[in-house]
């Protein structure tokens, strides 16, 4: 469903994304990993048609981001790391507004909002202003706006960052449920997230792909099964005891 082809993005003298290529299929949950400044968010913004690449292309369901950005945006649900929310609006009003902006007609709007609220566990805060919500609930609202239009593809930037263990579990279960008939890319700094919900992992560092494979294979590169050690070896080039690349 997604094919990234020789993608490059340059900001002034900084090459944020350096000639990367990969594919993601329906039913996959791709964990996009890397240290701060590696190029994860830039890549996701390009795929979502929020910024244009310097070179290369991305095909989404066969359409080029360069030729059909509006068409592609209709197929994608995007959750930025710090998703903008209208703090003074209630959860219900905000999601209704998003559904209307997404072009959902009046006949389907109520069902879309109701189903999304149920799925994200937002019933108890439906009438509450967003500014009064906890960080966990704000994350749920952010995710809800990303898939209220039932897109084929979800792009989630740090979906569990800052959540407590219980909230992380709930979001992970939601992602698993959504992945049954969607293509999902999520970026994360939390390596346990990859083992918990991802079917494949890509590690990017300094704009280049350093690893592309399954979480099981990634873990197997450490004799002790410590994924953090493997990640450090891949992204820093350092020799880490017990890790074979």
Q: pLDDT value at position 55?
A: 97
Locate the DSSP E strands across 12-126. Answer: 14-24, 29-33, 55-60, 63-64, 76-79
Is 195 within 8 Å of 215 (Cβ atoms)? Answer: yes
Q: pLDDT value at position 190?
A: 80
Give the H or E element holding residue 119. Answer: helix 106-120
Please check the confidence at residue 173 and state whether its pLDDT lies above 80: yes
Q: pLDDT value at position 189?
A: 79
Instruction: Place 110 in a pLDDT band, splitting at 50, 70 and 90.
Output: very high
Rounded Cα distance between 117 and 139, Å, is: 13
Rounded Cα distance between 146 and 140, Å, is: 10
Give the H or E element holding residue 196. Answer: helix 191-197
Matching residue, tokens 């994350």: 139
Q: Count CB-CB contacts under 10 A for residue 143.
A: 25
Q: pLDDT value at position 49?
A: 94
CATH architecture of 2-213: 3-Layer(aba) Sandwich (3.40)
Global confidence as pTM? 0.89
Instruction: Place 170 in a pLDDT band, splitting at 50, 70 and 90.
Output: confident
Share of the chain above pLDDT 90, in %: 68
Over residues 127-167, the pLDDT tens digits come to: 999 999 988 889 889 999 999 999 999 999 988 887 888 88
Matching residue, tokens 């509006």: 70
Is 242 within 8 Å of 219 (Cβ atoms)? Answer: no
DSSP helix/strand/coil, 231: helix
Give the H or E element holding residue 178. Answer: helix 165-178
Please check the confidence at residue 84 and state whether its pLDDT lies above 90: no
Radius of gyration of the chain (CA): 18
Q: pLDDT value at position 183?
A: 94
Q: Which two tokens stand for residue 165?
A: 């263990």
Lowest mean pLDDT among 54-63, 78-87, 193-202, 215-224: 78-87
Enumerate residues 6+ apart whose C-beta is below 8 A from 111. Answer: none
Please check the confidence at residue 16 and state whether its pLDDT lies above 90: yes
Please check the confidence at residue 239 and state whether its pLDDT lies above 90: no
């Amino acid at each position: 469903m997604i094919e990234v082809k020789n993608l490059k993005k340059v900001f002034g003298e900084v090459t944020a994304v350096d000639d990367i290529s990969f594919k993601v299929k329906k039913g996959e949950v791709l964990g996009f990993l890397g240290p701060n400044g590696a190029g994860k968010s830039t890549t996701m913004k390009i795929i979502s048609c929020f910024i244009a690449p310097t070179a290369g292309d991305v095909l989404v369901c066969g359409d080029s981001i360069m030729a059909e950005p509006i068409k592609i945006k209709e197929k994608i649900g995007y959750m930025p790391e710090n998703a903008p929310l209208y703090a003074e609006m209630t959860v219900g009003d905000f999601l209704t507004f998003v559904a209307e902006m997404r072009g959902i007609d009046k006949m389907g709007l109520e069902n879309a909002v109701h189903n999304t609220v149920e799925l994200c566990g937002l019933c108890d805060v439906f009438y509450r202003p967003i500014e009064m919500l906890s960080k966990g609930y704000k994350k749920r609202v952010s995710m809800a706006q990303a898939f209220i239009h039932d897109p084929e593809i979800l792009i989630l930037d740090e979906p569990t960052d800052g959540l407590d263990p219980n909230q992380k579990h709930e979001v992970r279960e939601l992602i698993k449920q959504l992945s049954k008939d969607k293509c999902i890319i999520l970026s994360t700094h939390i390596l346990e997230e990859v083992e918990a919900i991802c079917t494949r992992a890509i590690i990017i560092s300094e704009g280049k792909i350093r690893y592309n494979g399954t979480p099981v294979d990634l873990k197997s590169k450490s004799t002790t099964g410590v994924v953090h050690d493997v990640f450090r070896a891949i992204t820093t080039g350092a020799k880490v005891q017990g890790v074979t690349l």
